[in-house]
Amino acid sequence: MKANGEKFAVITAYDFTFSKLIETAAIEVVLVGDSLGNVVQGRDSTLPVTIDDMAYHTEAVKRGNNRALLMTDMPFMSYATEVQALDNAAILMQAGAQMVKLEGGAWLADTVYLLSQRGIPVCGHVGLTPQSVHKLGGYKVQGKEDQAAELMIADALALEDAGAELIVVECVPSALGKQLAEALTIPVIGIGAGPDTDAQVLVLHDMLGISQRLPRFSKNFLEEQTCIQDAITAYGAAVRDGTFPAPEHCFK
C-alpha cells in the first residue's frame, strides 16, 4: 500500500465486541494498545499495565478478528532486556498477536533484530512514547527542534535496519511526520503527526468521543454518524481519502 501511495487506517481495540465492529468496517490494522490502562482500567498512565493484561485483551480481540493485521503493545518494562523481550513477545504472539509494538529508538535495535530473526514481526514507536512520560516531562510534542528531529529520523532508520516492519510516530510537527514517511521504506503510522504519514492510528474511545479528554490530534467521528459501526467506517474512509487528519488535528 505504501508503494502504491494508498493510505490505511489503524485503530485500537480491547474486546471481542468492538473487534467485530472494526472487522465489519474493514479497518486494515487493529492495535491492542496499552492505552487500555487509561480507557479500560481508569489509570492515569499506561505504566501499570502488565503483560498478562495485554495477553488477556489480545485473546479477546483475536476472537473477533479474522481480517485485520493484529498488533499488540508490549507494556512498560516488558522488554528491558533481550531475553525478557523474547519471552514476553512469545506470550503475546501465542495469545493471537501477529506483530508486537515497542516504544524507543536506536537502543532497541538489537532487540528488534532478535525478535525479527525469530519470526516475531515488530512495529517501532518513536516521538512521544507514553511509557516514558515521566522522563519526557509530560505529554508534549516531540521533535520541534532540528537536532531532536534529526535524532528521531536516525532512530526510526535504525529500527527499520534492525528489521522493524512498521513505525508509529506520535505527537510531532507535521513536517517531521512527512520527513519520516519519506525517509523510511516501511510504512509510517501517524498519531498527531500530520496528514503525510502512510497511515493513521487513533484510540477507539477517542474517535468515538467517549474518552474523558479528547486529544487535539483526534476527532469525534460519532458526532456525524448515527451509530458506532458507521463512525468506525467513516474514520477508515477519512484516513484513506486524506481528509483526516485536518489542519486542526496537527502540530506545526
Alpha-carbon gap, residue 149 to 158, rounded angstroms? 14
Catalytic residue from among 170, 182, 223, 248: 170
CA distances from 105 to 29, 86, 159 (A): 22, 18, 7
Among candidate residues 166, 169, 155, 184, the one with its CA nearest the CA of residue 217: 169
Position 177, amino acid: G
Residue 174, marked binder: no
Residue 101, marked binder: yes
Residue 19, marked binder: no
Residue 6, marked binder: no
Which H, E and C letters describe 163-222, residue by residue?
Answer: CCCEEEEECCCHHHHHHHHHHCCCCEEEECCCCCCCEEEECHHHHCCCCCCCCCCCCCHH
170 flagged as catalytic: yes
- Look up residue 3 and give its three cell numbers: 508503494
Please, are residues 165 and 99 in contact by the beta-carbon 8 Å criterion?
yes
Please, are residues 158 and 202 in contact by the beta-carbon 8 Å criterion?
no
Q: Please tell me what DSSP assigns to residue 224.
A: G
The alpha carbons of the chain give a radius of gyration, in whole angstroms, of 17
Residue 178, marked binder: no
Annotated binding-site ranges for Mg(2+): 34, 73, 103
Q: Catalytic residue numbers?
A: 170
Annotated binding-site ranges for 3-methyl-2-oxobutanoate: 34-35, 73, 101
Annotated binding-site ranges: 34-35, 73, 101, 103
